[in-house]
Amino acid sequence: MVGPTSRRKPQLTTYTALMYASIKGNVDAVRQLLRRGADVNMAAHLGSTPLILAAERGYTETVGLLLINGAEVDFKSCKGATALIYAAEHGHVEVARLLLKRGAMINAADSEGSTPLIAAVSSGHVETARLLIEKGASVDKTDNDGYTALNYAALNDHIECVRLVLENGADIDHLTPDGSMPLAASCSLGYVDIARLLLDNGAVVDNLQEKRISALEAAAGSGLVELVRLLLKKGADVSRTFFIEVLIEYGAAVDATLDDGSSAVMMAALFGKTETIRVLLKHGANVDLADSSGKTPLMLAVQCQYVEVVELLLSAGAAVDAKTHSGETALRLVGYADSVKCARLLLDCGADVNLAGRNNCSALQSAVFKGHLELVRLLLARGGTSNTADSDGDFVLHEAVLHGRLEIARLLLEHRADVNAVNVMGWSPLTVASQRGYGGIVTLFVEESATVDARTSEQRTALMYAAEEGHLEIVRLLLEHHADVNVVDVDIQTPLMKAAYRGHDEIVRLLLDSNADAEIVSSSGRTAAELARINCRLTKPDWFIPSREVRKDQEPFSAGSFGKVYRGWWLSTRVVVKTVTVATEQETRTFHREARIWQKARHPNIVPFFGACDEGATYFFVCEEAKNGKLLDYLYHARQEGRSLVWRKLLDAALGLHFLHERHIVHTDLKCNQILVSRDGVAMLTDFGLSFLTTEQSEDEKTVGAIRWKAPEVIRKDSPVAPNVVSDVYSFGMCIVEAVTGDVPWGQHVPDPVVKFHVTRRKFLLRPKAFSNDAEWELVEKMCAFEPSERMKLSDAIEKIREFAEEERFQERLRQMQQEGPEDFDFNVRERPGGSKIPTMGSVRPLSQVKSLGNSTRVKREVGNFMAAA
């Protein structure tokens, strides 16, 4: 009997009206066309029927209408895929439910053997997969290559899909014909969470198939130390000494290295295999052969806390004080790892207990940093000195205090650590403890006769920091030990001013009760009461971040007249820290205004703002780092890769500007270096130092900025106009010129005074050669009209930019179609330069013929796009 899936209607080279209506999900049009006799099962040249086209796009109502009017539910495209497979692949749960209700074959496979369930899990659509399983889909059905749904879910890093099929009885150790098992594949690709899930569900650790790598080898090749340890705990077999003997006998080079410089001894040390190392050393292996980073087998064994391996390597003469290229030593690595036994072995073999490593830190500082009390005790007993400073000027006692290590601080003092040692910023351990709020440590230090009024480089004392940060009991303790209550810093501010400014009422009362002078005037001419009032510090602003929560890197990556920009950490989050030197009341108002504006500017095309800090001499903003940098650099790299992204990125920036204007915010300083690009390739506006809210604009705050981007009415000599949303439109037009040409408006050869001379006399720049399209240049002219009333509205400009962006995207797709051929073309074009690399196993060869490494062929099916047919 011939079923409906085997019949073949005539196929067209283009689409019918019913197909177009199905693509758009236009139910009314579909209904009218069906009433007029449109063929519901006519297929295009790729075999796509109206039902397939609608199901692929998730149009449930259209699918239902087509089915009611006789659409063949299991009709197959040229690649053998049914409507259910397309719906499953794209995660359209309700469409899949409807197709199943109409009798769709749940395990029908395409020409590659892929079932709807395989298609769903390959794309990560867990709810669709759940529906299919509930309706009876086979979880262990294989495709033509012998891969199951679990294989594909693991290969494509879809952990919830892995969990789902396992809960429904999938064969966790299914071995494909090419030797791939889910656990080994996930280890090879670095999918730690999936590997852990498979192990927790009883996956076999060792694949003993001939010439197939095991999960352990795959994890080691991917550099996943945590996973390697987990596999070893699960009983992974690494006993290969017999084979090593055979290989050496047949001429294997015992000191051969991988691309990263790792030797056989190094790899054996990584796994803690004492007997393997013994065999290698017996055959002349170099015990100190380091990898490309300078790390030796001894260092690796110490880091992994393999005591027996450390003993063996030391007995074989391993260099105990060798250093990596970054300055790490074996003993310093012990400090991080907390192995007293390994430390004792190294010291017994002559390790220098005070040998400085990276950042001039000793093993003692490493152990203190990690809080390993017993290891600290051992190092001190063996002669470790507690009065050495690292490259940042911090002493060991500073390190203990920074991390709140009370018992370690006590132990260091017992070994004569200097309680009054100061770092390069003049901070003593007591100052750090007071600022951080470690009351127990402060008590310890004052009992050890710490100088309570020690001054930092900014002339601030422990009492000032405790008062500022709101640590009431520490303030009380310091006052009881005769701290100077009226001490002043470089800004002539007292502890009372610090507490009042931050709104710490109880501390203010305590200081006043302790005879704090409330009439002292700061360098800005204000008393404590005035500081509290003008800064509204009874409640902190929403954007405020305490300085103690932020640590910036040592060196800035950008600098200018505004200050410096650092990468750093806010709590446990990687951030960018923009410091601003504030010396006057005007600069303070400007800083607060920028913080308020940036706080209001929450939009996908505005650089995300986390907060700001206005305490101390240097204020700073904290924001997300735009990983792809400035717009012009990003566009340049895109052009180097043969791509044009100009109009798509300008559209992003224009949407951000439109958002600002809708919130009554005028940017005033638009230029391409104020447009950054995120990790995901999204253009975002930044730098609101000259911006203002139209509801807060003041006469004394003049905003001019860069001349060649400014509207003529803003920079003219007679009766200049304050910047506004219309002048922002002019500036954005100049940004378009800059982005298209890759050069500043008017070019580098024309100085600013000449630009101002021409613009104020209504002479516009000549059309650059980069503007080959008349419509694009016309947009610039309309946005930069000399008469503000004649200037194009931003909303209208956005629509034109959107048109150019769509054309840019279309041209890119068209070029790729010409290169790849219509049937293989993927329309999901990424908008960021640089292709992602498929993860490999590094030093171990990849799984044999592993398929779909992050770009599963199951995810890239035919798109059914009418452009290919045309």
Q: Torsions phi, psi of 499, nearest 5?
A: -70, -40
pLDDT of residue 668: 85
pLDDT of residue 217: 67
> Do 729 and 792 touch, CB atoms closer than 8 A?
yes
Could you tell me where in the chain the CATH 1.25.40.20 domains are found? 4-233, 241-451, 452-533
**Range 547-623: architecture per CATH:** 2-Layer Sandwich (3.30)
Put residue 536 in one of left, alpha, beta given phi > 0 → left and psi -120 to 50 → alpha.
Answer: left
Judged against a pLDDT cut of 80, whether residue 829 lies above it is answered with no
Regarding predicted confidence, which is higher, 423 or 8?
A: 423
User: pLDDT of 40-82, one tens digit each?
Assistant: 999 987 889 999 999 999 999 999 999 999 999 999 999 999 9
Cα(514)–Cα(294) distance, rounded to whole angstroms?
59
> Do 618 and 579 touch, CB atoms closer than 8 A?
yes
pLDDT of residue 273: 87
User: pLDDT of 368-381, one tens digit each?
Assistant: 888 889 999 999 99
For residue 284, give the amino acid letter: G
Judged against a pLDDT cut of 90, whether residue 233 lies above it is answered with no
Judged against a pLDDT cut of 50, whether residue 287 lies above it is answered with yes
pLDDT of residue 492: 93
Pairing of strands 563-570, 43-44: unpaired
User: pLDDT of 489-506, one tens digit each?
Assistant: 999 999 999 998 888 888
Buried b vs exposed e over 33-58: b needs ≥16 C-beta within 10 Å? bbeeebebbbbbebbbbbbbbbbbbb
**Among the ranges given (415-429, 565-579, 732-746, 844-858), the one the predictor scored with the smallest mean pLDDT:** 844-858
pLDDT of residue 210: 46
Could you tell me where in the chain the CATH 1.10.510.10 domains are found? 631-696+705-806
Buried b vs exposed e over 701-725: b needs ≥16 C-beta within 10 Å? eebebbbbbbbbbbbeeeebebbbb
Evaluate the CA torsion angle 566, 567, 569, 570 in order and state its sign: positive
CATH of 4-233, one of 3.30.465.10, 3.40.50.300, 1.25.40.20, 3.40.50.720: 1.25.40.20
Confidence of residue 170 (pLDDT cuts 50, 70, 90): very high
pLDDT of residue 21: 92
pLDDT of residue 824: 45
Residue 194: partners with Cβ closer than 8 Å, 6 or more residues away = 154, 157, 159, 162, 182, 186
Judged against a pLDDT cut of 60, whether residue 133 lies above it is answered with yes
Judged against a pLDDT cut of 60, whether residue 842 lies above it is answered with no
pLDDT of residue 601: 86
CATH 1.10.3660.10 fits 452-533, yes or no: no
CATH 1.10.510.10 fits 631-696+705-806, yes or no: yes
Confidence of residue 452 (pLDDT cuts 50, 70, 90): very high
**Among the ranges given (220-229, 255-264, 408-417), the one the predictor scored with the smallest mean pLDDT:** 220-229
- What percent of the residues of the chain are helix, what percent strand, and what percent coil, each to the nearest 5? 45, 5, 45
pLDDT of residue 597: 86
Confidence of residue 288 (pLDDT cuts 50, 70, 90): very high
Judged against a pLDDT cut of 70, whether residue 175 lies above it is answered with yes
Cα(817)–Cα(834) distance, rounded to whole angstroms?
19
pLDDT of residue 554: 86
Put residue 525 in one of left, alpha, beta given phi > 0 → left and psi -120 to 50 → alpha.
Answer: left
User: pLDDT of 332-367, one tens digit each?
Assistant: 888 787 789 999 999 999 999 988 888 888 889 888
Whole-number average pLDDT of the chain: 84
What would the two tokens of residue 627 be?
């990983």
Average pLDDT on 651-672 reads 91
**Among the ranges given (4-8, 272-276, 854-858), the one the predictor scored with the smallest mean pLDDT:** 854-858
pLDDT of residue 194: 93
* % of the chain at pLDDT higher than 90: 54
Judged against a pLDDT cut of 50, whether residue 140 lies above it is answered with yes
241-451 CATH fold: 1.25.40
Q: Say if residue 202 is exposed, middle or buried (CB neighbours under 10 Å; 0-12, 13-18, 19+).
A: exposed
CA separation (Å) from 634 to 312, 605, 623, 669, 681?
Answer: 53, 16, 20, 20, 9
Judged against a pLDDT cut of 50, whether residue 856 lies above it is answered with no
User: pLDDT of 699-725, one tens digit each?
Assistant: 334 444 478 899 999 988 888 888 899
CA separation (Å) from 570 to 546, 599, 611?
Answer: 10, 17, 10
Average pLDDT on 803-826 reads 73
Could you tell me where in the chain the CATH 3.30.200.20 domains are found? 547-623
Confidence of residue 855 (pLDDT cuts 50, 70, 90): very low
Q: Torsions phi, psi of 665, nearest 5?
A: -110, 125
Judged against a pLDDT cut of 70, whether residue 823 lies above it is answered with no
Judged against a pLDDT cut of 60, whether residue 402 lies above it is answered with yes
User: pLDDT of 538-571, one tens digit each?
Assistant: 456 789 898 888 888 888 888 766 788 999 999 8
pTM attached to this predicted model: 0.41
